Structure 1
Amino acid sequence: MVKIIAIYGSPRRDGNSAALLKQAVAGARQQGAEVEEVILRDYNMSPCLEIYQCIKTGECAIRDDFPKVLEKLEASDGIILASPIFFYTVSAHTKILMDRCQSLWVRKYWIEKQDFKNAPQTRKGVFISIGATTGKKLFDGALLTVKYFFDVLNAGLWKTVLCRGVDRKGEIDKRDDCLQEAFEAGRDLAIVLKDEKKIAE
């Protein structure tokens, strides 16, 4: 069975980006995928403290909930990450998770010495985001950050759902276009991952 991890990166448990992610989760489950939902605000995770113990072992030295989330990420076939935009990038909760994955970067590129240009992509990732403004470059910073976060997890940024002009809680309910796009992104991710598994078998 296809395993997908859905990461809620908003500081609001039931905000607009969460509503979009729930649609994506529903779409993936419609296609029979097993989806585990992770609400980052419910986990105790310190920011990266640059202890650099990971240089020796490839594992983070901080003892908190990060290994629980990492285990789920590494067990997944696909990742759906949702975060609102704050100052042209992802939320603090999301960025903490990303920064803690620096230990994976160290393991992958320093310890195992994998080739930057030829690292394998064993997963696919979807990024869902919402921003209050309508600027052309609203999502540029977040997309670059997410791309390289997915890279360290051997995931390609396969699809995005980016919704502009949504800010106050509940405003997403009026955006049927974004809600439908999110549902289809989750559904299509499950379909393509199932097809890849069949080919691999």
Structure 2
Amino acid sequence: MKKIGVIVGSPRREGNSGRLTNQAVKGVVDAGGEVLLYVLREQNLSPCLEIYGCEKNGQCVIQDDFQQICLQLTGCQAFILSSPIFFYTVSAHTKIFMDRFQSRWVKKYWLDKKPFNHTENQKKGLFISAGASHGKKLFDGALLTVRYFFDTLDT
């Protein structure tokens, strides 16, 4: 059975990106998968303080819900990240969460270790988003940010 980590970055309970994510979660469950769901607005997450406490072992030294989320995500075979588009990028909740993975970037690129200590093949990632503005470049900023975030996670 596949375990999928689902990160919901919308500040609204019934927002458009949240509704799309609920459908993806239903599909995972209907296919027999297990879902670990994290609604970021309900988590206690501080922003990255860039104090480099992570440079010794790739672990963030800020004590909040981030450590538990990372520990639980370690066993996931795939990730779903969802966020509405705010000013052509992800929501503040999502960006704070992503920035905290700077510690995993340090682990991967400075310490030359796997971000989650996993040995299996590269994980899969899916980004779900919705935005109300019009324009061909509405998602470009978010897609670039998410692409580099997923790269840090070997996704």
Q: If the length of structure 1 is used for normalisation, what is the TM-score?
A: 0.72
Q: CA deviation at 1:73?
A: 2.2
Residues 48-127 of structure 1 correspond to what in structure 2 (within 5 A)?
48-112=48-112, 122-127=122-127
State the partner residue of 1:13. Answer: 13
Aligned residue in 2 for 1:23: 23
1:40 correspondence with 2:40: yes
Over alpha carbons, which structure has the higher Rg?
1
Distance 2:69 2:10 in 1: 16
1:133-159 CA deviation, whole Å, 9 max, x = no partner? 12100000000100111111110xxxx
Partners of 2:108 and 2:65 in 1: CA distance: 21
Identity of aligned residues (%): 60
Residue correspondences, number: 150
For the Cα contact (< 8 Å) 1:88–1:141, is it kept in 2?
yes
Letter in 2 for 1:18: G
CA contact (8 A) 1:46 1:96 kept: yes
Task: Mark the runs of 5 or more structure 1 residues left unpaired by the alignment.
Answer: 115-119, 156-201
Once residues 103 and 93 of structure 2 are traced to their aligned partners in structure 1, the CA distance between those partners, rounded to angstroms, is 17
Deviations along 1:49-78, one digit per CA (max 9) or x if unpaired, are: 011011112111101111111122222101
Q: Considering only aligned residues, what root-mean-square deviation do their CA atoms show, in Å?
A: 1.4
Q: Distance in 2 between matches of 1:84 and 1:75?
A: 26
Give the distance between the partners of 2:137 and 2:121, measured in 1 at CA: 27
SS of structure 1 residue aligned to 2:81: strand
Distance 2:2 2:72 in 1: 13
Deviation, structure 1 residue 15: 1.3
Indicate the residue corresponding to 2:117 in structure 1. Answer: none
Provide the rounded CA distance (Å) in 1 between the counterparts of 2:110 and 2:135: 38
1:30 Cα deviation from its structure 2 partner: 1.1
Give the secondary-structure state (helix, strand or coil) at the position aligned to 1:94: helix
Q: Whole-Å Cα distance in 1 between the matches of residues 153 and 74 of structure 2?
A: 7
How far off is 1:113 after superposition?
6.5
Q: Following the alignment from structure 1 to structure 2, what is the Cα–Cα distance between the partners of residues 46 and 98?
A: 11
Please give the secondary structure, in 2, of the residue aligned with 1:125.
Answer: strand
Q: Which residues of structure 2 form unaligned runs of 5+?
A: 115-119
